[in-house]
Structure 1
């Protein structure tokens, strides 16, 4: 495989945080694959919570076949979303891994949901084009 073939293929299975944030409503099923305590700490609004270990057992009842699934975990230092993407792919779902995870979602100033409601932080100028 050439370098260009590799990177072209890689781009088919990854999605940028801002592309997820700006996706048409209902076009993606965003799945938080972290453990319960991490979900409780904060997650992407509208995301579905399925910890990686539970994907094979619960996904067929929760996510319609044919859905475009986007998985995320903590961030670039965590490969949890890679394991989750593999689990979805093995079930036959079209799946993409959100680059940067919730860390870069937060660093881009996007909203996070907790049991207390929604919150967001000031965008980090090192990772976002927001002004």
Structure 2
């Protein structure tokens, strides 16, 4: 393939946001997202400033989950099923992987009920890829994704 100079940029077809717009966007994004590495370090350091919620099915949770996580399948999230949780404590929600949207659905339902939520990007797949410990009936033998 020969190299030719173009006067049109696909990257800049839509101009970049102003620095202030970009800052607002990225801060808003960070206010609703976290990653497996940050969650792991907080837990290793004894942080108890958030609840870790597994939005996958109860069976998937039983087979393999992050130690200390609470099973709350996203389809079962109601005012009644969450009545025992404090709304003062933020929740970090995870599911399977970047291809799974159960954590997103759970976060939407929980925020509708008045909870503060962040989604853990990458789910349990990236938790495990980064060396995070898991427990359950299958533990490390459980599949990375389903």
Aligned to 2:81: 58
Match of 2:133 among 82, 104, 111: 111
Q: Give the strand-richer structure, 1 or 2.
A: 1
**Once superposed, which parts of structure 1, at least 4 consecutive aligned residues long, lie more than 6 Å away?**
none
- Deviation of 1:14 (Å): 0.3
2:26 maps to: 7
2:38 matches 1:19 = yes
Structure 1 CA distance, aligned partners of 2:58 and 2:114? Answer: 25
Q: Which protein is bigger by CA-based radius of gyration?
A: 2
TM-score, structure 2 as length reference: 0.74
Kept in 1, the 8 Å contact 2:64–2:140? The answer is no
Q: How many residues align?
A: 118
Equivalence for 2:14? none
**Alpha-carbon deviations, 1:72-112, whole Å to 9, x = none?**
00010111100000111111111000010000001011100
Secondary structure of the residue aligned to 2:118 is strand
Superposed displacement of residue 119, structure 1: 5.2
- Alpha-carbon RMSD across the aligned residues, in angstroms, is 1.9
- Offset of 1:115 from its aligned partner? 3.5
How far apart, in 2, do the equivalents of 1:25 and 1:10 lie?
A: 22
Structure 2 gaps, min length 5: 1-16, 142-146
Q: Give the TM-score normalised by the residue count of structure 1.
A: 0.82
Higher mean C-alpha displacement, 21-30 vs 69-78: 21-30
